[in-house]
Amino acid sequence: MYFPNADVVIHPALLVFLGLIVGMLGGFFGVGGGFLITGGLLVFGVPPVYAVGTGLTLVMGTSIINTLKHRNLGNVDFKLGALMVTGTIPAIFLAEWVNATLEAAGIAGPVIRYVYVGFLSSLGLFILYDYWRTSPMRSSRRRGGPEQISTLALTHRVRTLRIPPHRVGIPGVGGFSTYVALPVSGIERISIFVPMSIGFGIGFIAGLLGAGGGFILMPVLIFVLGVPTTVAIGTDLFQIIITGSVGSFAYALSDRVDPTMAVLMLAAASIGSQLGAAATGMIEPSRIRFLYGLLIMTGAVAVALEEVSQAVAGAASLSNVASAVLLGSGGGMCILLLVLMARARRKGERRTGGGH
């Protein structure tokens, strides 16, 4: 099937398959799926900047679907999401300008892939390390007790940061404190500049890599802010709507989006989203984090293989290996989730809403 805006021919079944995987994994892990979408489109041969722009467009669509689903489960902290968005929006426009500059210099593809590999592999290794480190604590904790993560000291330090100004005055309106409570996330008091800064950093990376930022934001919310896993999933999906929309708009303005491709994948993603969101209520948070770490590690491997296939003469066949790794691991993860859901259903497990 020919996609005119990206000027590329791709078999639609591949896009449908990618959409299904993205929808399910997005609903389960709370990510827009951008790293999978952009990585998948890159291995399908879509030009890098179109892969980024179309990825952001699909991310916007899937995150709307997933956020609505998670809102019904009580997993969305809208206040936290709104604070992060104030930093995200300017960062995305900055990232789009950087990407356009890199494209003009002819190095957008390699840079995007190198940054992807670096980020995904670092993040994946940390999440797997955290799972390994906290397993003794997990085996002894009672069901429904607080989640155990290896960065509790860091989360306490971040939550208690005092960043000036501590009060802001608006003429004619009055003054207000720059510290807020975020009860849905279990945070009694935090400086508003913390989520705004997080939003800015995530927004820049998201805009650069063509993702909603969820694959970074979700672990940041858990390991830096100490937000419970399911609330981190729902909240970052909400924030991804904004980053995806702004990013999609910025890239569409530069004619770097193929909406036909995006709508086709969205239709498939909507099916997977239903299953993914439902699975979060049936699987333990620590296991969710472990599976997430595995997933992004395989994403890093796939993008690395694609980069080698482009950079090394005679290694073009590695591109097929890359697509096999990405789609195979994504599909395998979906099957694993279905199996875990079936087992949980048989045992009659329902996680009681655990939190910190």
- From the list 306, 229, 198, 201, the residue with the least C-alpha distance to 75 is 229
Residue 38 binding other proteins, by CB under 8 A: no
268-287 positions binding other proteins, by CB under 8 A: 270-271, 273-274
Give the contact letters, 125-164, x = binds to other proteins (CB under 8 A), - = no: ----------------------------------------
Q: How many residues bind other proteins (CB under 8 A)?
A: 30
| Paired tokens of 108 | 């957008």
Cβ(127)–Cβ(300) under 8 Å?
no
Nearest to 137, CA basis, from 128, 124, 146, 126: 146
User: Looking at 73, 254, 284, 310, which residue binds other proteins (CB under 8 A)?
Assistant: 254
Find, among 230, 339, 356, 224, the residue nearest to 284 by Cα: 230
Tokens standing for residue 274:
């239903």
Task: Please identify, among the stretches 98-106, 110-118, 197-205, 256-264, the one whose residues bind other proteins according to the rule CB under 8 A.
Answer: 256-264
Determine if 178 is a binding residue for other proteins (CB under 8 A): no
Stretch that binds other proteins, among 127-135, 140-148, 173-181, 264-272 (CB under 8 A): 264-272
**Strand spans (E) along the chain:** 2-3, 8-9, 167-170, 174-177, 179-182, 187-191
d(CA 67, CA 89) in angstroms, rounded, equals 19
Interface with other proteins includes 73 (CB under 8 A)?
Answer: no
93 makes contact with other proteins (CB under 8 A): no
DSSP 134: H
Among 263, 311, 312, 336, binds other proteins (CB under 8 A): 263
Q: What is the DSSP letter of 224?
A: T
Name the one range near other proteins by CB under 8 A: 128-136, 181-189, 260-268, 307-315.
Answer: 260-268
Burial tier of 58 (Cβ tally within 10 Å: 0-12, 13-18, 19+): buried
Q: From CA 146, how far away is CA 52, in angstroms rounded? A: 38
Query: Which residue's CB is nearer to other proteins, number 180 or number 271?
Result: 271
252 near other proteins (CB under 8 A): yes
Residues contributing to the site for other proteins (CB under 8 A) = 2, 4-5, 57-58, 60-62, 64-65, 68-69, 245, 248-249, 252-255, 257, 259-260, 262-263, 266-267, 270-271, 273-274
